[in-house]
Chain A
Amino acid sequence: MESFQQTKSIAKREWGSYFNSPVAYVFIMIFLVLAGFFTFAVSQFFESGQADLRAFFVWHPWLYLILVPAVAMRLWSEERRARTIELLLTLPITPWQAICGKFLAAWLFLILSVVLTFPIVLTAMYLGQLDLGVVLCGYVGSILLAGAYLAIGMCTSALTKNQVISFILSVVIGLFFILAGFPPVTDLLSRFSPVWLVDAIAAFSFMAHYEALQRGVLDVRDVVYFASIIGFMLLGTHIVLRTRAAQ
């Protein structure tokens, strides 16, 4: 319990640093504007005449691809640049506590942004019979997806004191996780690869797992998939910090 207290203190400090700077407000604004724009203007939510939120959720992997690395890039890069990492990691805490504290703060921040899209849900409810179970499941999927992107961004952030490098690296890695299951790419691959290989690569993709959740199917395997991506990336962060914190 005592160790959670410290993780909480770190999360609290990190949360505060989002809101002490314009980062939090700019991020939330842009996220909401873009989510609205894609849902209503690009996907033509009203014209489709269906009371579901597919038009809304389908854009999340692409929005997160750019926006989540922007939230994650400062987590460790900034500590490295300002050298506060030396202060933080010589306090009586384990690197795990620091990693989890930072991850929780950033994830909660992303969850807040996602929750603030609730007017879209209200709109759909007003217009027709909305299956709230499916919507809830969609939100769970979206939050898990954000967590996976965040863990990737955190790992690349630990690698460098340059936030731009961290941002680009995590976008590239995120793009891989999207494209591995993106139909145009899987079609291309299947022309010269055996089916099992294409399926194996596609199974690594965010897309298949995310889409299952969007259909309202809360399968434990999909949840485990996202949880293990997060776990793996946090472990990667731990290894990076242990081996090159002082460089």
Chain B
Amino acid sequence: MICVKELVKDFGGRVAVNGVSFELSKGDVLGFLGPNGAGKTTTMRMIVGFLPPTSGTAVVCGHNIVQDPIQARKRIGYMPENAPLYGDMTVQTFLQFVAEIRRFIGKERDEKVDATIKKCFLQDVRHQTIETLSKGYRQRTCFAQTMIHNPPVLILDEPTDGLDPNQKQLVRNMIQEMAADKAIILSTHILEEAEAICTRAIIISNGKVVTDSTPAELKKQAPSYNALTLKIVASAEEAKNTFEQLGDVDSVDVLDSSTDHVSLRLFPKNGQPLATTALEEAHSHNWLVKEMQSESGRLEEVFQHLTVTENVSEKVK
């Protein structure tokens, strides 16, 4: 439903987006991850046709956003960064305005607005002016605006930014409910969010896609994926040397050691689970295993690994 090819945006010498390509079909929820200033917002703005691309194309449901912007935008619900809204309008008049622009008039308009208000839990504030609303309600009002016309494509720029944990969960639930019959792109820098709702994750850094995969696959790239933390009764030196000899073990960190026990973290070589071999080894040395925990890898690590290195090298230059 969305086909992005080699998008480039050059702001007079500063290349914000440098050849971003991806495709998205129905049912996909794409998490757009990356540090601030990586080009996430610029890419999204080009896909919705707010910024003309320097080169490359974005096609939404078969309509090129540059050549046929109206048809493409009819099929998009877009929530810009920081949820901009007309502060002097009430929630209801604002949604009515958007519905009218989306070509619903009369009774149909009111039905659409009512349904959307209900879906986004805005009943309590529907007659309140937007500038008096709390951040959570504002964010939800802007979110509501994206789905009045039940579009096949949703593009959400940091939809949960600045919300409290409960509100975040609410927005995530709403996104998940709609996910089945839509193609959704959302940007975030909260990685747990990408893990919770995205079926795909793209990490973008310095205007380039550095990885395009599922959150689960991404986690496998983390150094701590399938790492094993052990607390055993043994001497630190001996235990470290012994485990390092094992074929599947890449390296061993001593986390903590005292007279009667030692805590170690074993990193696997090829992401192999280590529990069985480690246990057998401990058993053969008659070491008492007090605690054992396998780690599933953290997205933060992958994110840092893929994005920080580039930023740091940039600074060194």
Contacts and interface: CB of A to CB of B under 8 A. Distances in A.
A84 B84 contact: yes
Given A17-B88, A246-B45, A83 B101 contact: no
The interface centre, meaning the residue of B45, B70, B81 with most chain A CB atoms within 10 A of its CB, is B70
A188 to B, nearest CB: 42
Interface string B61-94: 0000000001101101010111011111100010
A58 interface: no
A82 B71 CA distance: 26
Interface string A146-187: 000000000000000000000000000000000000000000
B84 A16 contact: no
Contact of A90 (B71, B80, B81): B80
B101 A92 contact: yes
Given A9-B97, A13-B97, A91 B73 contact: yes
Interface residues on A, range: 20 to 34
A161 to B, nearest CB: 12
Contacts of B89: 13, 16-17, 20
Contacts of A245: 50
Nearest to A17: B88
A21 B71 CA distance: 35
B98 interface: yes
B89 to A, nearest CB: 7
B268 interface: no
Contacts of A12: 97
Contacts of A21: 88
Contact of A83 (B84, B93, B97): B84
A16 B86 CA distance: 11
A93 B85 contact: no
Contacts of B152: none
Contact of B73 (A2, A10, A92): A92
B101 A89 contact: no
A246 B73 contact: no
B100 to A, nearest CB: 4
Nearest to B74: A92
Given A5-B105, A82-B84, A83-B84, A90 B50 contact: yes
B103 A5 contact: yes
Contacts of B78: 87, 90
A94 interface: yes
B102 interface: yes
B49 interface: yes
B48 to A, nearest CB: 5
Contacts of B80: 83, 86-87, 90
A43 interface: no
A86 B88 CA distance: 17
B145 interface: yes
A6 interface: yes
B210 interface: no
Given A90-B78, A246-B51, A82 B101 contact: no
Interface string A55-99: 000000000000000000000000000111011011111100000
A83 B74 contact: no
B86 A17 contact: yes
Contacts of A2: 103
A245 B69 CA distance: 15
B85 to A, nearest CB: 7
Interface in A1-27: 2, 5-6, 9-10, 12-13, 16-17, 20-21
Contact of B70 (A5, A9, A16, A92): A92
Nearest to B88: A20
Contacts of B50: 86, 89-90, 245-246
B101 A10 contact: yes
Interface in B195-213: none
A16 B100 CA distance: 15
A17 B94 CA distance: 11
Interface in B143-175: 145
A87 B48 contact: no
Contacts of B76: 90
Nearest to B99: A9
Nearest to B86: A84
A156 to B, nearest CB: 22
Given A82-B87, A86-B50, A246-B45, 19 more contacts: A2-B103, A10-B101, A12-B97, A16-B89, A17-B88, A20-B89, A20-B129, A82-B84, A83-B81, A83-B82, A84-B85, A87-B78, A87-B145, A89-B50, A90-B50, A90-B73, A91-B73, A92-B73, A93-B70
11 contacts: A6-B101, A9-B97, A10-B101, A13-B86, A17-B88, A17-B89, A82-B84, A82-B86, A86-B84, A89-B50, A94-B70
Interface of B: 45, 48-51, 70-71, 73-74, 76, 78, 80-82, 84-89, 93, 97-98, 100-103, 105, 129, 142, 145
Q: Rank and list the top 6 A-B pairs by shortest CB-CB distance, nearest first.
A: A83-B84, A9-B100, A20-B88, A92-B73, A86-B80, A92-B74
Interface of A: 2, 5-6, 9-10, 12-13, 16-17, 20-21, 82-84, 86-87, 89-94, 245-246
